[in-house]
Chain A
């Protein structure tokens, strides 16, 4: 199973918005509503930021939002803050009790 495709990097100035794409196939992203997004700071464990395409766990700021169109899911971070600088990974349920992760995107706050 191939990793979902994410851009290697994205950036924005404080207060701006950045959107990260996550492209898969009809067998994963396009076939299920089980797309989630994780934030990972250096040396730390991933943290769930978005689940089921666009739902936020308790405690995650509403600056983080998710969406999906066809085989591509997206994470938008609005009102960028310095602490948002991190790696972001998408993942999707891929059927037959399997999961596939994205290749990861490094977000830089300029």
Chain B
């Protein structure tokens, strides 16, 4: 059973860069899947951020594209998210998830990132 686990700083200063990593265990990140990031502001709904394939190909939400970079490290079986120029509006629980054919069938537990000075 594939498991995903997010990690990274829980507090980021405004205008800084949010950096998170998702470790994949129980399976190879090089399987024919896309790997996504999804976020959820406190008390609000879900928002898809973007995704990456093991080859390094990426797709991003057009509303965040200018600030987002998703990368993969196959040697560590993990993928990462960087979101720059953050504001309080980027405060959210960030989830990593596996895209198994245009549905998200496996999720990490989520990690809360707060943007504040």
Cβ-defined contact, A101 with B46, below 8 A: yes
8 Å CB interface, A47-102 against B: 47-48, 51-52, 57, 89, 91, 93, 97-102
With A1-B63, A45-B108, A45-B110 as contacts: A100 and B48 at CB distance below 8 Å? yes
8 Å CB interface, B76-117 against A: 95, 101-105, 107-110
8 Å CB interface, B44-59 against A: 45-48, 51, 59
- State whether the Cβ of B61 lies closer than 8 Å to any Cβ in chain A: yes
Interface residues of B (CB under 8 A from A): 38, 45-48, 51, 59, 61-63, 95, 101-105, 107-110
A47 vs B108: C-alpha distance when bound (angstroms) = 10
Instruction: Tell me which of B62, B63, B107 has the highest count of chain A C-beta atoms within 10 A of its own C-beta.
Output: B107
Which residue in A45, A48, A91, A103 is a CB contact (below 8 Å) of B48? A91
A–B complex contacts, Cβ < 8 Å, 11 sampled: A34-B102, A51-B101, A51-B103, A51-B105, A57-B105, A91-B103, A98-B48, A98-B61, A101-B47, A102-B45, A104-B45
